[in-house]
Amino acid sequence: MYQWKQLAAAGPRTAVLYRAFTFHSHRPEGNMEKNLQLVRNIVPPLTEKKHKGQDGKIGIIGGCTEYTGAPYFAAIASLKVGADLSHVFCTKDAASVIKSYSPNVIVHPVLDSSSGVDEVEKWFPALHTMVIGPGLGRDEKVLENTKVIMRKCQQRGIPIVIDADGLWVIVQEPTVIQGYSKAILTPNVVEFARLYKAVLKDPLDECDHQGNLLQLTQALGNLTIVQKGQKDLISDGTTVLICSQQGSGRRCGGQGDLLSGSLGVLAHWAFTAGTEKTDGLNPTLVAAFGACVLTRQCNYQAFQKHQRSMTTSDMIAEISTAFNKLFES
Amino acid sequence: MYQWKQLAAAGPRTAVLYRAFTFHSHRPEGNMEKNLQLVRNIVPPLTEKKHKGQDGKIGIIGGCTEYTGAPYFAAIASLKVGADLSHVFCTKDAASVIKSYSPNVIVHPVLDSSSGVDEVEKWFPALHTMVIGPGLGRDEKVLENTKVIMRKCQQRGIPIVIDADGLWVIVQEPTVIQGYSKAILTPNVVEFARLYKAVLKDPLDECDHQGNLLQLTQALGNLTIVQKGQKDLISDGTTVLICSQQGSGRRCGGQGDLLSGSLGVLAHWAFTAGTEKTDGLNPTLVAAFGACVLTRQCNYQAFQKHQRSMTTSDMIAEISTAFNKLFES
């Protein structure tokens, strides 16, 4: 709370900030191969001794009257990246539709219920990561439940990925997430600007994307932010990774859900692997880099087949081959 | 009742148990081919003279607000293994979703109704085997109905396969199933430990999986237990079969439902064929071995195509070729 208020008061561009940036490791695009290797390091081996759940049990908070595709994309992406179980916690009227997309996803119609928080919380022991926001919508009751769920995840130390209207919750009340090092926010350009304004109380510097990112990340207490864009910029307030893997110009809706769902699994793997496997880098950065590069590779592959007709479903169908190409040795 | 209480009182490892074990046939992995042949013996020929229903009419008890994929996987697996008809008996709000997965499955929304038991029972004359548990959930009313259905199946001599939260019913009240020789329980590692503790009142011997299995099976009155794991161990309290068919390290949710649904059909076939076709072996063992080897082969084949992205739907798509490869001469 104190930190971001102070920064906001100090104004956006301080020498201190830039020193922090240049002093700490900055891994530009030339390090794509090195960063890819770090992702490979955290991918768990598939041995015969494994049992159900070990490779990831992911919860998705989202899905409402309007949006049912988004939480499905996040959930199915998490399974296809390698999670064993994926649970969607959505509103009552979204559940049947999400279920009908695939029998592989478990769906709980609880998010708009007065006991919604309790219903989600009782699944905490059975979840490794929570992805909050895909298809969440703006219903007040749902947003209030979501805010409480964010707090409870932190109390339990569950890594959380926050996207879409999950970020709206943060815009309304940044302290909800401030200082939680296991949080990864994945704003697009619009969402990033909104967050920046809410936290820093200042306009963006249109010429300094990395500076903006470092500022916001630090102001939020060094959680991790993935700024999606022409290039994806990833930072935990000290290090900046850049993902410039080739995708395509196709920007159909749902790609961010593929990213957030994938990131749910990769975050679990990265925290399990620990910094020994990530060359000392924050596990959140390696997980985020993995999700960005995978999403772009899926986009690239699907675009080769479908061009302008490409939808997110076509990208989901590419996860297996994209993952193998990028991460399996 | 008396037997398992006595065993629990006597403590877990008695010389008598081990004598029983070594004296009776123990069919280790070297007998894979021999056991496969026994499964082939029970597969009914597909002749032009057959009519609908003869090759299997399977009931699935399961499907609730959260879980709709599990009963669907069990039902569709039973059809793809060769059953003619598959009925799912689920809660009211799960029915439409399960129906939407496939027009080949018949779905009855009755399991949470006060007349639920009667609604299921009236279908008994039209069912060969009952698979109890896939996606059952933990609702008290549903579990109570399920318990009564288990008892009524026994009164009528219907073979029953019990998995997932069907096993939870047994954990609460082991006498419900005790001594029913046409029951096949299919616990995973966690469920087995829970059952063992409930019945034997003692911790598992971590070094003696077969000993644990024989003990629990005998304590439950020589029904059949399939202990799923790195290798599947199958026992009726006298014989132990081991299934070590190659699968993969992928442990996505739903694989157990493919197994229980397949087992529903194979149990019908095995009881119809009788011990002449099973070389004197308990038909339940041959059916269980068949379901285990088939599930592992589906896992293996689907993994070759999809690797880490494999879901249970991908395994379902392999049933036909896996079955042919293993069981058709």
pLDDT tens-digit readout, B94-104? 999 999 999 99
Q: Cβ of A106 and B67 within 8 Å?
A: yes
Q: Hey, what amino acid is at A290?
A: G
Rounded mean pLDDT, B259-286: 97
Q: Span B247-255, mean pLDDT?
A: 95
All residues of chain B having their beta carbon less than 8 Å from the beta carbon of residue A83 are 252
Rounded-to-integer distance, Cα A107 and Cα A119, Å: 12
Measure the CA–CA gap between B206 and A44, rounded to whole angstroms.
25
Residue of B nearest to A43 (CA): B308
Quote the pLDDT of residue B13. Answer: 41
For residue A106, pLDDT beyond 50: yes
Q: Token pair for residue A3?
A: 């930190």
Q: Is pLDDT of A75 > 90?
A: yes
Contact yes or no for B256/B154 (Cβ under 8 A): no
Positive or negative CA dihedral for A122, A128, A130, A135? negative
Q: For residue A99, give the nearest of B68, B252, B308 by CB distance.
A: B68
| Percent of all residues in chain A with a pLDDT value above 90, rounded to a whole number | 86
Q: Which helix (H) or strand (E) holds A232?
A: strand A232-235
Of A178, A185, A260, nearest in space to A222 by CA: A178
B11: left (phi over 0), alpha (psi -120 to 50) or beta: left
Give A-chain residues touching B66 at CB under 8 angstroms: 106-108
What is each CA distance from A205 to A11, A28, A200, A216, in whole angstroms? 12, 20, 12, 12
Strand locations in chain B (E): 26-27, 57-61, 85-90, 106-109, 129-132, 160-162, 183-185, 224-227, 232-235, 240-243
Give the strand pairing for A232-235 and A224-227: antiparallel
User: What secondary structure letter does DSSP report for A236?
Assistant: S
| Yes or no, beta carbons of B229 and A51 under 8 Å apart | yes
Q: Please, how many CA atoms are within 13 Å of residue A201, restricted to the half-sphere of its CB?
A: 9
Average pLDDT rounded to a whole number, residues A210-222: 97
Candidates A48, A120, A298, partner chain B, best to mutate (most B CBs within 10 A):
A48
pLDDT at residue number B8: 37
pLDDT at A113: 96
Mean pLDDT over each residue of chain A, to the nearest integer: 91
> How many interface pairs between A and B have CB atoms less than 8 angstroms apart?
94
Query: What pLDDT score was predicted for residue A6?
Result: 34
The answer, yes or no, to whether residue A2 has pLDDT greater than 70, is: no
B14-49 pLDDT, tens per residue? 333 433 343 345 555 558 899 999 999 999 999 888
How do residues A135-151 score in pLDDT, each as one tens digit? 999 999 999 999 999 99
- The span from the CA of A54 to the CA of A45, in Å, is 11
Residue B195 or residue A30, greater confidence? B195
- Each residue of B316-325: pLDDT tens digit? 999 999 999 9
Looking at residue B290, its pLDDT comes to 98
ipTM of the complex in this document? 0.89
A103 closest CB neighbour out of B68, B250, B306: B68
Chain-wide mean pLDDT for chain B? 91
Structure confidence at residue B30 (pLDDT): 59
Closest chain B residue to A56 measured between Cα atoms? B252
User: Which range, of A24-28, A52-56, A77-81, B253-257, averages the lowest pLDDT?
Assistant: A24-28
Contact at CB, A106 and B229, closer than 8 angstroms: no
pLDDT tens for B141-150 read 999 999 999 9
Indicate the SS3 state at residue B121: helix
In whole angstroms, give the CA distance from residue B159 to residue A195: 60
Confidence check: pLDDT of A50 > 90: no
Q: What mean pLDDT comes out for the span B205-218?
A: 94
* Chain B nearest CA to A253, separation (Å): 22
* Subunit contact B68:A104, Cβ cutoff 8 A: no
Using a CB-CB cut-off of 8 Å, the residues of chain B touching A46 are 248-250, 308
Between the CA of residue A96 and those of A7, B66, B325, what are the distances in Å? 46, 10, 37
- The model's pLDDT over B121-162, given as tens digits with 9 standing for 90+, comes to 999 999 999 999 999 999 999 999 999 999 999 999 999 999
Say which residues have a Cβ less than 8 Å from residue B310's Cβ, sequence separation at least 6.
B248, B250, B252, B299, B302, B303
How high is the pLDDT of residue A48?
82
Q: Is A150 exposed, middle or buried (0-12, 13-18, 19+ CB in 10 A)?
A: buried
The pair phi, psi for residue B106, each rounded to 5°, is -95, 130
CB–CB contact A46 B252 (8 Å): no
